[in-house]
C-alpha cells in the first residue's frame, strides 16, 4: 500500500544546504547557552540565527508542523 499525503499536507525535503544551515543554528544556540558571552555577541548570534532560519520558515523549506515547542516555566509569567 502506497501512502500519499493529501494536497493540503505538503511534504518537504531537507536539502544538504538546509541541513547545514540547521546544524549552524544548533551550533550557535549551543554556544549562546553554554558560554558567558557579552551581550553584543549573543545578540549577533541570535541575529545570524534568525537570518538563516526565517527565510526557510517563510518559504516552507523547513516544515515545523510536528515540532513540539516546550516553554520554560517562568513562575506564572
- Per residue in 60-71, pLDDT (tens digit) is 888 877 777 777
Alpha carbon distance, N-terminus to C-terminus of the chain: 49
CB atoms within 10 A of CB 28: 17
pLDDT band at 1 (very low <50, low <70, confident <90, very high): very low
pLDDT band at 19 (very low <50, low <70, confident <90, very high): confident
> For the whole model, what pTM was predicted?
0.44
Give the residue extent of every domain in the chain.
16-59
- CA–CA separation, 26 vs 32, rounded Å? 10
Cell of 6: 493529501
Amino acid at each position: 500500500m502506497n501512502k500519499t499525503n493529501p494536497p493540503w499536507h505538503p511534504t518537504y525535503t531537507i536539502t544538504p544546504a538546509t541541513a547545514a544551515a540547521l546544524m549552524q543554528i544548533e551550533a550557535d544556540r549551543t554556544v549562546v547557552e553554554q558560554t558567558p558571552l557579552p551581550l553584543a555577541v549573543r545578540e549577533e548570534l541570535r541575529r545570524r540565527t534568525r537570518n538563516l532560519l526565517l527565510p526557510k520558515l517563510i518559504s516552507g523549506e523547513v516544515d515545523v508542523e510536528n515540532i513540539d515547542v516546550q516553554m520554560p516555566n517562568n513562575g506564572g509569567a
